Amino acid sequence: MTTLTAPAKAPTRTPPRHARLRVALRVLPAVLLTALALAGPWLAPHALDAPVVAPYAEPGGEAPLGGDQLGRDVLSRVLAGGRELVVTSLLVAVLVTAVAAVLGAVSALRPALGRIVERTADVLMLLPAVLGILLVTLSWPDGGRLAVVTASVVLGVPYAVRLVAGAAAPVAASGYVEAAAVGGEKLGYLVVREVLPNLRATLLALFGLRFVAAVYLVATAGFLQVGPQPPAADWALMIRENSAGIVLNPWAVLAPSVAIGLLALSVNLAAAALVPSTGRKAVPAL
């Protein structure tokens, strides 16, 4: 038995220590923002539902970011309003990436089944995201956050499956996968041990993209009051509730909007920084 190895990597100009430092700096904002969002409810200086200042009061005094439409502290509600969005978006991104990885790899290994999966994905991708959320949540009125997660996963998987299936096709056609198939290895073994390990870069990049898409869908659902309901502290819900007073206190709308944008951007950058320079590994050949 001989061993085939991936082509030798070109010499890198960046010293390994500097490369690790650069990756850490790109990952750090996402870690800090996620930790702040998760710990935010315990860091809020005021009660979330108690008026502290006048409605739409300007920043100052006990409210550094002013008051919302009921005079509640905007800073406290911003600190507490990101945890559900972060947890829900992470859950959606993990589920979409996992389901798409398995379906995409199976589609590449079994072309007949793959054609059915891809045609189904093509049809589902025609459904607009907002319309899909409304269809699922209105047909499941008591679903709450679970209905939003279900809708986001259903809407996210078709695009992700098409991407993974395209990336997995060359891997499935490679010699070592065909040799394993001829050797009697089962489909599950081929998917888990032969195809998916060579798609690490694609799956990490896909996770970052799906997290951003999940933030968009979950925030849209919150803006439409599908899922979180008043008086819950939720970033998207804050934007909707305080839009009428944006002239009086812009921070009641700007603060949650900036938080959503920074969260999506930082996690996407972190996922891109963690993508390995090569997804290939040494593989045995007959």
Contacts of 168 (CB under 8 A, 6+ apart): 104, 105, 107, 108, 109, 195, 199
Tens digit of pLDDT for each residue in 57-82? 999 888 999 999 999 999 999 999 99
**pLDDT one-digit tens code per residue, 86-103:** 999 999 999 999 999 999
User: For residue 72, which phi and psi values (nearest 5 degrees)?
Assistant: -80, 155
Cβ atoms of 101 and 196 closer than 8 Å: yes
Please, what sign has the CA dihedral across residues 251, 256, 257, 263? positive
- The residues, ordered by sequence, that sit 6+ positions from 66 with a Cβ below 8 Å of its Cβ are 53, 56, 57, 58, 59, 60, 74, 249, 251, 252
Give the CA angle between residues 94, 97, 103 to the nearest 5°: 135
Instruction: Give me 100's structure tokens.
Output: 């798409």
pTM of the model: 0.80
Q: How far apart, in whole angstroms, are the C-alpha atoms of residue 204 and residue 273? A: 9
Q: Are 158 and 215 in contact (CB under 8 A)?
A: no
Q: Percentage of residues in the chain with pLDDT exceeding 90?
A: 35
Nearest to 158 by CA among 213, 211, 119: 119
The pLDDT of residue 278 is: 54
The larger pLDDT score, comparing residue 92 to residue 275, is at 92
Over residues 129-172, the pLDDT tens digits come to: 878 888 887 788 777 788 889 888 988 999 899 899 999 999 98
The pLDDT, as a whole number, for residue 9 is 47
Please provide the size of the chain in residues: 286
Average pLDDT, the chain: 84
CA distance 79 to 39: 8
Task: Determine the pLDDT at residue 280.
Answer: 45
Which has the closest alpha carbon to 157: 108, 123, 134?
123
Phi, psi of 67 (to 5 degrees): -115, 160
